[in-house]
Each structure stands twice: as C-alpha cells, then as structure tokens.
Amino acid sequence: MPLPINIQDLFTGRVVEWERLEFKEGWNPEAVVHSLCAFANDFHNWGGGYLVIGVAEKDGRPVLPPTGLQPEQADAIQRKLLELGHKLRPAYHPLAVPATVQGRLVLVIWAPGGDQRPYKAPVSLAKDNQAWAYFIRRHSSSVEARGTDEQELIALANKIPFDDRMNMRAQVGALQPGLIQSFLTRVKSDLAPLAASRSLQAVAQDMHLLGGPPEAPFPINVGLMFFTPKPAEWFPGTQIDIVQFPHGSAGSDIIERSFAGPLDVMLRDALAYLKNNVLVEYVRKRPDQAEAGRYWNLPYAALEETLVNAVYHRSYEERDSIEVRVLADEILIQSFPGPDRSIQMDELRAGRPVARRYRNRRIGEFLKELELSEGRNTGIPTILRAMHENGSPAPRFETDDDRTYLFVRLPLRPAPVVTGQPLPADFGTELGLSRDQVKILAKCLEPSAIADLLQLIGRTNRTKFRDQVIAPMIEQGLLEMTLPEKPTSRLQKYRITDAGRAWLARQT
C-alpha cells in the first residue's frame, strides 16, 4: 500500500523533520515497539512519524547507500508488525511499505498519531516482563514518559485535536478526488500516479483521512478542510477577510474582500491579493551611492508567515474568521483564540516561542508537505528577521489573559522622501498639486499640526490655508485629519494616507 508522501523524500529531509523520522539498520522488535508506542502517543501533536528498517543512521542522518533487507526479511518483519501491534495497549497497527532506495530494499513503516492515546508498551519483550510504560519522542529517541510528561500525556488523551476527529455529519463522498489528486501531485507523493485508478475510499484511507470502522467510515475533519471546495459548510467562519481603509480608519471608503475554499487555496489566494494590491517596493536613490536602496512597505516573508500561522493555529470550532485589516500605518492580522497556554508571551515576543503542543497537528502536517509551514516554532523568528532585514519596526503580538484572541501588528515602513534637493518643476502636476502641497504631503508622513504646516510654506492665514491647500488634498484622498469629527480642534493634526504614500513613492 503506497504512503501519502514521496518515500525518497524521507532521505532528503524535504517533507518530515528528523524528530519524526527514525532509521534502524536491522530488526530489533523491542526498540521498534517502543518507537511505535511513541509515535502513536504523538506527544507534540506532530502527526506521528516514520520508521525505516534497513538503513543505518549517523548523527540523525541516513547512511547511504542503505544496508538493505532481503525480501524474506521484509516479509517476516511485516508479519511481526501485526504481532507487535497487539502488544500495545490499546492495540495499534501502523502501515508498512517495502521500497527500493539506491538499489536496496528497505521497509518504511508509517505510524500516524493514534486516536486512542495514551498507548502503553511493554518495557521488555522477555516472557517474564510485567512492566509497562508510556513512551514518547524526545528529539530522535523514544523514551519512557515520566513525571509531568506522563501526566501531560494522559491529559492530552482526554481531547483528540479537533482537526483529527471524525466528522459524523459528512460522508466519504464529500471529499473531492480532484483536490486530493492535485495535492498528491504537488507534494510528489508515491500515491499520485495510482490515485486515479483507485476508489476514493481507498485513497482516503491511505492518506489517513477516514475514521471509524471499515464498514462505516467517516471523513476526518482535516480532510474536509483541505479536500472539499467549501469547508465553511462544515466549519463556519473558515475564511480570510481582508479589509482595506484607503483613506485611513476614519475615512468613509472601505474595500472588503473575502477568500474561502480549501485551506491551502484560501491561503494562497489571500496572500496573492495582498502581494499584488498592498505590498509596495520602494526605490530610494542616494546621491552618494551608485546603487539605489530598495525596501518594501512590508516584507512578504513576514506577511506570509503571519497569515500561515493564523490558518495553522486558529480554532475551527469557533465561527470567527481570520481578519486582515490594512491600515495607514500597519497591517493587523486577527485570529481566534490566542496562543496555547504552553507558550509564554514574553518568549513569543522575543522570537523564542516554545510550544509543548499544537492545536491542529494534522493541518500543520499538510501545510508542511505543501511547503507553506516549517512547523517547529520557526514562524515567529522568521517574521522578526524579515522585518529587521527590511528596516521595518518590530511586529507586536497582543492577547488577553484568557488567550481568547491573537492580534499581530505588522507596522508599514513609510515611503522614502528625498530631502535636501530641489523638487523638479513638474513634480506633482499630474494631480494638480502645487509645490507647497507636495512639501506638506511629505511633512505629513508624521502627523503634523496646522501651525507647523503654515510655518513650512510661510503662510499665516489659517482659514485660507485650510480651504485652498489642505481641503483639496483631503478630497483627493492624499491627506486626512486625525480628528475628523472635530475639524477645527486645537488638537487637530494632518497625516498622509496610503494613497498619498503610494503617490510619493512613485515620485521618488
């Protein structure tokens, strides 16, 4: 039976991480039963793991070419696996597939996270053994769970992650073969060339997308999230809403777009829209340098990681959609609920989040196979690094004491403004702007009081200045008031809008 991955990728590290992969040169049933128990317990919600028999390892990497197995050895091991599965409590049976790697026969055992954890295994396979223990993965080893680890494992067993539960409201036919085929092809799975000639149920079982007894299978929630055209029918609120305020949050104009569909399609479409309609690359020419400096109002890598994290870690039991608010000075991404309590917020803000468990283990596995997520706490450091390298202000992460939400604020880096040089004679003429108005627009990159603007261009009459200079730029959507409900307030200031920033960027 083929596996839902490309077996050759197990030897390159492309799909799964080393914590989820174990190599064994020969057959050691006691070590194997401990590893199967650890993968079945899936303590960190990684989605289980892979055990490869017939390949030696050194420092966690396979030694190639592999030692390999004789055909009769592979057959005997597969028969023994059935026996070992019954030694676990409760019984657990992985999938085993023979494969050829560099001309040598190996056996790949896929051990997905079990539905009935916690699992116990005998400490020894000796006949007089009476000791049993829970086993979990620690880096590349399977070890006994002791103390707080054992307590937490038992607590985790009280709730199977939502994305890995059966959905008894749906039928197998809700899964779309075309979406499954597209996914398998994209990740270069060995199952891809065979999927078209096999039944939907057989393919879904191979991908661990079904639960329940063989005679009455039901889709797993993650299958409905990735392989149905409208996941929101099963999980209301499964969409990404993008809300833009082209004239600032106080303006009357709002642009709204919603993206739905399979999780990966929804995510890619939303990112493409933001990349094409919101992100702007600036080129800043310097008189003392031969090459122009380049940067973005927001680096794409930071935006991508933030939105991927929102899709990965949100709760699909709640009906709140992910919202992306594009403001004049930042992009705010909101998701619900907040980070798991195992994550300390000060560590997260410092780029050192340590997650003991993941809310959606199966979603994370599919996103990793699609190369949309690394999965092992790398998202936040990537965001921080991308913002720093772009010269952007640091992002801000906000939640409440009950962890009911997560707000990620990504500040936008302002457009460059050339100072200390005379403005071209035609600068601003395509918008009908005077040279004084252009100076004011550049000054209002930071909110500025009317007194400062009057001084900038050498005027004294406030009323005429508002009517003749400021009002036309507000009408064009280039400038806005910080207190629009109080136009003549002594605290009133003026600031540039996104449209004004974009226009200035094109001029410089």
pLDDT in tens, 240-290: 999 998 766 666 678 899 999 999 999 999 999 999 999 988 876 555 555
pLDDT in tens, 318-349: 899 999 999 888 999 999 998 877 677 777 77
Give residue-wise pLDDT tens across range 121-149: 999 999 888 899 999 998 888 999 999 88
Distance CA 390, CA 69 (A): 52
Per-residue model confidence (pLDDT) at position 160:
76
Topology of domain 240-411 in CATH is Heat Shock Protein 90 (3.30.565)
Tell me how far apart the alpha carbons of residues 304 and 333 are, in angstroms, rounded to a whole number.
Answer: 11
**Residues paired with residue 99 on neighbouring β-strands, in sequence order:** 106
Per DSSP, the three-state class of 412 is coil
Tell me, what DSSP letter sits at residue 470?
I
Say if CB 309 and CB 295 are below 8 A apart.
no
CATH level 3 topology of 429-507 = Arc Repressor Mutant, subunit A (1.10.10)
pTM equals: 0.62
C-alpha count within 13 angstroms, C-beta hemisphere, residue 336: 13
Contact 242, 273 (CB under 8 A): yes
- For residue 420, the model assigns a pLDDT of 41
Higher pLDDT, 432 or 69: 69
Q: What pLDDT is stored for residue 272 in this prediction?
A: 95
| CB 36 within 8 Å of CB 88 | yes
Q: Please tell me the predicted confidence (pLDDT) of residue 109.
A: 94
Kindly state the average pLDDT of the residues 142-171. 85
Is the pLDDT at 428 greater than 60, yes or no?
no
Output the six-digit token pair for 82. 């059935």
Q: In this predicted structure, what is the pLDDT of residue 355?
A: 58
Residue-range domain boundaries for the chain: 1-157, 161-228, 240-411, 429-507
Contacts 24+ apart (CB under 8 A), 286-292: 287/421
Label residue 377 by pLDDT band (50, 70, 90): low
pLDDT for 248 equals 62
Cα 294 to Cα 280: distance, rounded to the nearest angstrom: 11
Q: 6-20, 66-80, 320-334: which has the minimum mean pLDDT?
A: 6-20
Residues 6+ apart with CB under 8 A from 73: 27
* pLDDT value for 96: 92
Which of 154-158, 219-223, 332-336, 382-386 has the least mean pLDDT?
Answer: 154-158
Beta strands (DSSP E) in 337-445 are 396-398, 406-411
Write out the DSSP string of 434-456. -HHHHHHHHHTTS-EEHHHHHHH
| Structure confidence at residue 139 (pLDDT) | 80
The tokens for 427 are 């600068």
Q: Which residues pair with 120 in a beta bridge?
A: 89, 134
Question: What kind of architecture, by CATH, is found in domain 1-157?
Answer: 2-Layer Sandwich (3.30)
* pLDDT tens digits, 394-412: 999 998 888 899 999 999 9
Running DSSP on this structure, what letter comes out for residue 321?
A: P
